[in-house]
Amino acid sequence: MRNSFISILMFTAILFMGCKQAEPKYIIGVSQCSEDIWRDWQNAEMRMEANFHEGVELRFTAAHDDSELQSSQIDSLVESGINLLIVAPNQLSSVSPAIDRAYDKGIPVIVFERKTDSRKYSAFVSADNYEMGHLMGEYIATQLGGKGQIMEVKGLKGSSPAEERYNGFHVALAAYPDIKVVAELQGDWTEPTAYQAVKNWKGDMNSIDLVFGHNDRSAIGARKAFEERGAKLPMFCGIDALPGPDGGIQQVRDSLLDASYIYPTHGDQLLQLALDILDGKEYPRETLFTSALVTRDNATVLLLESDEVVRQAHNLIKLQKKAASYLEQLSTQRIISLLALVLLALLALILV
Ligand code: FRU
């Protein structure tokens, strides 16, 4: 009798151990160079995609534009036991050693959106930043009628999109000798730095016809400095054109910006690529996303469309939360049924 009792208790313990949450199949580390609405958007897309696949755990870090911090975050992610690393390196060269260390340990690496100067990665995913700068240059030249003075607020020094956008922009403008870039101000992708850089500029603000910010936040920061100075407002163009409130599309529609360029986030595709690599499927080593210009002419339509996408995404999140709570209820019911079974068995034993 005593032995049977102990057996039933052991059986129950084993059953409960079986109810414990399953270990993730894949742990994916995501090392973001910064934290801002562009990256929040992308992380949300990755999380949503991860919910469609069983056993995928995502571990995010954000380095707040600090290459040293990002390097140590990458080392910690590797130490924590990730199976794959997705990384947007803050600068071209300073984060490369940490990425190389991860790769040399046999961890597949997807470099996305910003480049590293090393070849040690499994796949690279981005939009074409040179092309973006070039197209922006051509668009701006047309808007200015081939003549005018430009102020440029550059992205973070040493980060690949800043260099490529700059090169593309200047190559395009070289065809227009009457357009001069009279101010090249150093920004770092953030609004406050752009605002401060424009505020500190000693030139004549009223002589500027157009400000090109390497991203929308820089263009908006520059605009605030012009407004504060009470100067004649030039045109403002940026890059990112995010959907949603305070995103670039809305800023173009509301005439805070004259144009922007969609810098695609595609977090879902990034995660799918990670899973393909982990599953040993074939995958492209380089992926370049295509993109489009947002102007006053198409901003309203694009905003309507993107609002719809945001709405659907929220619905999807609600659905996923509901499914998760049903699953939880199911597992609680399973535990209760098991308990009842054990009790019945004990009762039967006592009766016998
Ligand atoms: C987001 C961001 C974007 C910019 C891109 C450049 O962190 O600053 O605004 O387009 O990174 O890498």
Q: What is the pLDDT of residues 170-216, one digit of tens each?
A: 999 999 999 999 999 999 999 999 999 999 999 999 999 999 999 99
Q: What is the pLDDT of residue 310?
A: 81
- Which amino acid type is present at position 239? I
Q: Does the pLDDT value for residue 16 go beyond 70?
A: no
Q: What is the pLDDT of residue 248?
A: 96
Q: What is the pLDDT of residue 312?
A: 86
Q: Which atom of ligand 1 is nearest to the CA of 214?
A: 10
Radius of gyration of the chain (CA): 26
Average pLDDT, the chain: 93
Higher-scoring residue by pLDDT: 20, 10: 10
- What is the band of 331 on the pLDDT scale with cuts at 50, 70, 90? confident
Cα–Cα nearest to 257, from 293, 311, 285: 293
- Is any atom of ligand 1 closer than 6 Å to the C-beta of 161? yes
Q: What is the pLDDT of residue 342?
A: 87
Residue 134 in tokens? 């070039």
Q: What is the pLDDT of residue 8?
A: 63
Distance in angstroms (rounded) separating the CA atoms of residues 100 and 106: 10
Is the distance from CB of 135 to CB of 164 less than 8 angstroms?
no
Q: Which atom of ligand 1 is nearest to the CA of 263?
A: 10
Percentage of the chain beyond pLDDT 90 is 78
Ligand 1: residue whose CA is nearest its atom 9: 215
Higher-scoring residue by pLDDT: 8, 46: 46
Half-sphere exposure of 298 (CA within 13 A, CB side): 12
Cα–Cα nearest to 106, from 271, 269, 277: 277
- What is the band of 2 on the pLDDT scale with cuts at 50, 70, 90? low
Give the orientation angle of helix 160-173 with respect to helix 129-143, to 10 degrees: 40
Ligand 1: residue whose CA is nearest its atom 7: 34
Each residue of 276-309: pLDDT tens digit? 999 999 999 999 999 999 999 999 999 999 888 8
Provide the strand spans (E) within 187-339.
210-213, 235-237, 259-261, 286-289, 293-295
Q: What is the pLDDT of residue 230?
A: 92
- Is any atom of ligand 1 closer than 6 Å to the C-beta of 154? no
- Is any atom of ligand 1 closer than 6 Å to the C-beta of 113? yes
Distance in angstroms (rounded) separating the CA atoms of residues 272 and 88: 17
Residue 282 in tokens? 């074939």
- Which of 7-16, 193-202, 329-338 is predicted most confidently? 193-202
- Which amino acid type is present at position 198? V
- Is any atom of ligand 1 closer than 6 Å to the C-beta of 163? no
Q: What is the pLDDT of residue 225?
A: 97
3-state secondary structure of 299: helix
Cα–Cα nearest to 16, from 331, 324, 328: 331
Ligand 1: residue whose CA is nearest its atom 4: 215
Distance in angstroms (rounded) separating the CA atoms of residues 147 and 258: 17
Q: What is the pLDDT of residue 114?
A: 95
Residue 12 in tokens? 């129950």
- Beta-bridge mates of residue 151: 183, 211
Q: What is the pLDDT of residue 20?
A: 54
Q: How far is the CA of 35 from the centre of ligand 1 (A)?
A: 10
Q: Range with the lowest mean pLDDT among 6-15, 62-71, 134-143, 298-307?
A: 6-15
Residues sharing a CB contact under 8 Å with residue 325, sequence separation 6 or more, in sequence order: none
Each residue of 85-123: pLDDT tens digit? 999 999 999 999 999 999 999 999 999 999 999 999 999
Q: What's the chain's length in residues?
A: 352
Is the distance from CB of 109 to CB of 89 less than 8 angstroms?
no
Q: Does the pLDDT value for residue 30 go beyond 90?
A: yes
